[in-house]
């Protein structure tokens, strides 16, 4: 199993290209199941999760071609996928394929909406809480589908198609909002979604669906109205920049010190995280086609963070901020309100010397002057990268084990950081 080796202490200087968003690319790929025509997705990140979804879609009969690199393009340019779901040969997504990635469960919505049937294994994914799918199943039922659970599979049927309905989410859910958007786009009549997720990835999915002929109003706000159409057509769409990758490298600069431009990204995708970074003592500045982050000389100030649905502080940056807070000049308070078990990184950060006290959903981090390198183990995607961030500023050598988690969500991380002066390498085997 590959590992990452880091020798801490080097400042980061230069530019880091930001990839297309994993959490946008996955639902966009899934949305291609809604049409018989070709969907072309540009700026798709090269990640293990994208590869896994390609396998799941191929298994359903979807043709996916990757366009070759054109003159002048580099490995920093995302991939272009041509996806054609004309011939769906199977409406089953099996356990072996779905169990490693929760987002793959979302194929249930377009399959039921277009084919009238889906059999999808209950999902797996990062170990960050119980992560149920009840809201997603309620969406399908609200639109007239039947739901049965049998031997770990959800079987959903709508023989005569879906019908518009009224959905009020009890809690904001990204996946349930994706599900509702996809299902309602092909349902007969109008669907009203209240308390919808406002995440940029939801807006990106709605933008693609609208290009495909869907009638959607209000995406990006908490109330969305969809008027169903009988069929959708092909479209071309570029995936939005990865706001979590952007925030992660921004935090890495705040941690290691230095001056970096993050390219091909947008500050409006994560204003709350940038506000927190400024409060921690980093400089954040919008530049052409990106954002500049710097921390020179001054120390890291303690922060007070509560994770919330967008536009609040994202749960997917909580672990990375905790790594930063371990070197704060005082006590930081970090409260996790989205997932109940998203503190697995605490015990690993402690191996580097971090002082963190957990009290229910809140972590109190007493900042210390220096972390010390150690072998650590990645537990989930964002927790893994928090260990890399900590390693960048720790004295001596940090080895991050089990980095297959990292490969799910960070494209060529060691190259991107290495090019900016970090002493980081992948050890294979």
Q: How far is CA 264 from CA 91, 116, 235, in A?
A: 37, 40, 22
Minimal distance in Å, beta carbon 405 to ligand EPZ?
9
Nearest CA to 48 out of 425, 412, 414 is that of: 412
Q: Is the peptide bond before 45 cis (omega within 30 degrees of 0)?
A: no
Rounded Cα distance between 155 and 112, Å, is 10
Rounded Cα distance between 413 and 4, Å, is 10
Task: CB nearer to ligand EPZ: give 26 or 187.
Answer: 26
- Of the listed 28, 33, 108, 126, which one is catalytic? 126
Task: CB nearer to ligand EPZ: give 274 or 339.
Answer: 339
In degrees rounded to 5, what are phi and psi of residue 321?
A: -65, -35
Nearest CA to 135 out of 167, 99, 158 is that of: 167
Residue nearest to ligand EPZ (CB): 175
Residue numbers at the binding site for ligand EPZ (CB under 6 A): 23, 26, 102-103, 126, 129, 131-136, 171, 173-176, 201, 315-316, 338-339, 381-382, 409
Tokens linked to 10: 């080097």
Rounded Cα distance between 56 and 52, Å, is 6
Task: CB nearer to ligand EPZ: give 209 or 371.
Answer: 209
Minimal distance in Å, beta carbon 23 to ligand EPZ?
3
Handedness of CA 351, 410, 205, 161 (dihedral sign): negative
Minimal distance in Å, beta carbon 201 to ligand EPZ?
6
Task: CB nearer to ligand EPZ: give 84 or 315.
Answer: 315
Active site residue 126: yes
Helix extents (H) in 280-409: 318-325, 345-351, 381-393, 404-409
> Pairing between strand 63-67 and 79-84?
antiparallel
Rounded Cα distance between 292 and 143, Å, is 45
Task: CB nearer to ligand EPZ: give 92 or 173.
Answer: 173
Minimal distance in Å, beta carbon 421 to ligand EPZ?
27
Q: DSSP labels for 14-53?
A: EEEEPPBPHHHHHHHHHHGGGBSSEEEEEEE---HHHHHH
- Does residue 221 sit in helix, strand or coil? strand
Task: CB nearer to ligand EPZ: give 22 or 327.
Answer: 22
Rounded Cα distance between 272 and 254, Å, is 16
Minimal distance in Å, beta carbon 122 to ligand EPZ?
11
Task: CB nearer to ligand EPZ: give 405 or 412.
Answer: 405
Minimal distance in Å, beta carbon 170 to ligand EPZ?
8
Minimal distance in Å, beta carbon 262 to ligand EPZ?
18
* Catalytically active residues, by annotation: 126
């Amino acid at each position: 199993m590959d590992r990452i080796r880091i020798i801490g202490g080097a400042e980061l200087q230069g530019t880091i290209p930001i990839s297309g968003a994993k959490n946008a690319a996955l639902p966009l790929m899934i949305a291609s199941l809604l049409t018989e025509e070709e969907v072309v997705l540009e700026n798709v990140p090269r990640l293990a999760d994208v590869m896994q979804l390609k396998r799941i879609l191929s298994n359903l009969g979807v043709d996916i071609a990757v366009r070759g690199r054109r003159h002048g393009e580099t490995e920093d340019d995302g991939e272009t996928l041509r996806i054609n779901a004309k011939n769906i040969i199977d409406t089953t997504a099996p356990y072996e394929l779905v169990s490693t990635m929760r987002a793959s469960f979302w194929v249930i919505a377009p399959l039921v909406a277009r084919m009238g049937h889906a059999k999808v294994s209950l999902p797996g994914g990062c170990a960050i809480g119980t992560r149920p799918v009840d809201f997603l199943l309620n969406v399908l039922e609200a639109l007239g589908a039947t739901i049965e659970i049998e031997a770990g599979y959800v079987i959903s049927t709508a023989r005569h198609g879906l019908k518009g309905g009224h959905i009020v989410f009890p809690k904001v859910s990204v996946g349930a909002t994706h599900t509702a958007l996809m299902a309602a786009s092909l349902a007969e009549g109008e669907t009203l979604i209240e308390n919808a997720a406002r995440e940029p990835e939801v807006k990106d999915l709605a933008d693609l669906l609208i290009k495909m002929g869907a009638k959607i109003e209000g995406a990006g706000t908490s109330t969305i109205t969809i008027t169903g159409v009988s069929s959708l057509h092909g479209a071309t769409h570029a995936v939005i920049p990865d706001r979590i990758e952007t925030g992660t490298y921004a935090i890495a600069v705040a941690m290691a010190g230095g001056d970096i431009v993050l390219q091909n990204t947008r500050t409006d995708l994560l204003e709350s995280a940038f506000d927190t970074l400024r409060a921690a003592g980093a400089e954040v500045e919008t530049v052409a086609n990106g954002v500049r982050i710097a921390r020179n000389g001054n120390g890291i100030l303690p922060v007070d963070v509560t994770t919330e649905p967008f536009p609040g502080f994202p749960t997917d940056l909580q672990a990375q901020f905790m790594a930063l807070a371990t070197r704060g000049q005082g006590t930081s308070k970090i409260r996790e309100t989205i997932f109940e078990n998203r503190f697995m990184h605490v015990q690993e950060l402690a191996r580097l010397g971090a002082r963190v006290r957990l009290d229910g959903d809140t972590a109190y981090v007493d900042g210390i002057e220096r972390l010390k390198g150690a072998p650590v183990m990645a537990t989930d995607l964002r927790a893994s990268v928090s260990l890399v961030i900590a390693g960048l500023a720790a004295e001596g050598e940090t080895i991050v084990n089990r980095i297959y988690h990292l490969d799910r969500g960070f494209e060529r991380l060691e190259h991107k950081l290495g090019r900016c002066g970090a002493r980081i390498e992948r050890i294979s085997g």
